Amino acid sequence: MKRIYFDYAATTPVDPRVDKVMRPFFDEKFGNTMSIHSFGQEAKIVLEKSRQTVANLIGAKPNEIVFTGSATESNNLALKGVAFANKDKGKHIIISQIEHPCIMEVAIWLEKQGFEITRLPVDKYGLVNSLDVKKAIRKHTILVSIIHGSNEIGTIQPIEEIGKVCKEKKVYFHTDAAQSFGKIPIDVNKMNIDLLTASSHKIYGPKGAACLFVRQGTKIEPILHGGGQESGLRSSTVNIGAIVGFSKACEICKKEMKKESQRLFKLRDKLIKNVLKIKESHLAGHAKKRLSNNANFWFSFIEGESLVIQLDLLGIAASTGSACSSMKLEPSHVLLAIGLKPQEAHGSLRISLGRWTTEKEIDYLIKVLPKVVKQLRKISPFKKHA
């Protein structure tokens, strides 16, 4: 059976162009960047070149890019690193209610270490109000961390406005841009961003590479201590192959961003328009202020895991925020934050598009989804003929 991938927000396949440049770094050019011989120095030169390319995509200086192993690690470094380096100034941190689980969990952990966390609410589209950020900042606030593009509902936050508020109030501003990086233009200076998380495997690079942009002069402590790689902020042998791939992925995104996002906008809007023709179907997130590759729906009277597995049996890969598919058996905190009731979040379906999504694939989904929804509603004890 032909399989169709609609889960690019979860992870993406490596672009063949990325694959090609990475390969020599696993056998021929495998040196350790810390070695002073030619093998090591060769790797070191490539590492610094890669750093420049990644920095270019967000208007940063190369020395402001810290390579890490994952976006989760970058987010951990940003929050824990800033928290512990600035605890003499204060122990108050502001996040939103719709952060990725790795931010939510770090926040809970920091509370146990004596930090105080404010979790800002969002409106029904998932937007944080920059005025709320302003009001929440106190004398002892040390960091604001707001996700840029939501991994679930795709809503894009007014990062520039929030950045301005943080700059005025002299509070560090971090944004988790794992989903938006490489997909929409980001300028860390124009947007007043002090720290930014980006990931390779969401933009057709390999897994195992990510970065944290740390503005020069930011007070931050490492969470991994050791050989002192990455200016002492992330000790670990440098994963040079993955970083080379990450950098190539950035280069491609920079070149193709405009054209690709326009292509995806069209496909996504076609999908949304047609899926909403299904009775009792709803769009979660903002219609316009949303990532070009994200569509998130919820269907009354049915459950999301069933929906995803039914689609999977038809060769379509998607995702859900239903309680049934979570490890905690709780509905997605993002869907609850935008005001959905638990039973509504139960019927959630996320479709995320990417570089190899075609119009034919969208048409196929539009064709089969109503049938799958109908079939599951037949089994459901709730309203049948919706």
Partner 1 sequence: MPNGTYSKKVIEHFSNPHNYGKMKNPSGVGRVGNILCGDVLCLYIKVEKNKKGKEIIKDISYETFGCVAAISTSSVVTDLTKGKTLEQALKIDSKKVVKSLGGLPKIKIHCSLLAADALVEAIYDYLSKNKRKIPKELEKKHQRIEKEKKEIEERYKKWMK
Q: Which residues are catalytic?
A: 324
Which residue in 105, 305, 355, 370 binds partner 1 (CB under 8 A)?
305
Q: What is the arrangement of strands in the sheet containing 172-176, beginning at the earlier edge strand?
A: 65-68, 210-214, 195-199, 172-176, 141-145, 92-96, 116-120
Which residue in 175, 200, 306, 352 binds partner 1 (CB under 8 A)?
306
Q: Which is nearer to partner 1, 78 or 302 (CB)?
A: 302
Should residue 118 be labelled a site residue for partner 1 when binding is judged by CB under 8 A? no
Which residue in 78, 144, 323, 334 binds partner 1 (CB under 8 A)?
323
Should residue 171 be labelled a site residue for partner 1 when binding is judged by CB under 8 A? no
Sole window of 62-70, 105-113, 237-245, 373-381 interacting with partner 1 (rule: CB under 8 A): 373-381
| CA distance linking residue 51 with residue 179, whole number of Å | 20
Should residue 322 be labelled a site residue for partner 1 when binding is judged by CB under 8 A? yes
Q: Are 198 and 223 in contact (CB under 8 A)?
A: no
147 C-beta neighbours (distance < 10 Å), count: 29
Q: Which is nearer to partner 1, 170 or 378 (CB)?
A: 378
Q: Which is nearer to partner 1, 45 or 324 (CB)?
A: 324
Write down the least CB distance from residue 343 to partner 1, Å: 6
Which residue in 325, 348, 352, 357 binds partner 1 (CB under 8 A)?
325
Should residue 309 be labelled a site residue for partner 1 when binding is judged by CB under 8 A? yes
Judged by CB under 8 A, how many residues of this single chain contact partner 1?
Answer: 29
x-marked contacts with partner 1 along 256-295 as a string, rule CB under 8 A: ----------------------------------------
Q: Which is nearer to partner 1, 31 or 331 (CB)?
A: 331
Of 329-358, binders to partner 1 (CB under 8 A) are 329, 331, 341-343, 346
Should residue 324 be labelled a site residue for partner 1 when binding is judged by CB under 8 A? yes
Sole window of 110-118, 139-147, 213-221, 311-319 interacting with partner 1 (rule: CB under 8 A): 311-319
Q: Which is nearer to partner 1, 5 or 173 (CB)?
A: 5
Start-to-end CA distance of the chain, whole Å, equals: 31
Should residue 301 be labelled a site residue for partner 1 when binding is judged by CB under 8 A? yes
Q: Which is nearer to partner 1, 36 or 329 (CB)?
A: 329
Phi, psi of 73 (to 5 degrees): -65, -45
Q: Which is nearer to partner 1, 160 or 312 (CB)?
A: 312
Should residue 312 be labelled a site residue for partner 1 when binding is judged by CB under 8 A? yes
Sole window of 49-57, 165-173, 262-270, 298-306 interacting with partner 1 (rule: CB under 8 A): 298-306
Find the farthest-apart pair of alpha carbons in the chain and give their distance in angstroms, rounded: 72
Give the interface with partner 1 as residue ranges (CB under 8 A): 1, 300-303, 305-306, 309-310, 312-313, 315, 322-325, 327, 329, 331, 341-343, 346, 378-383
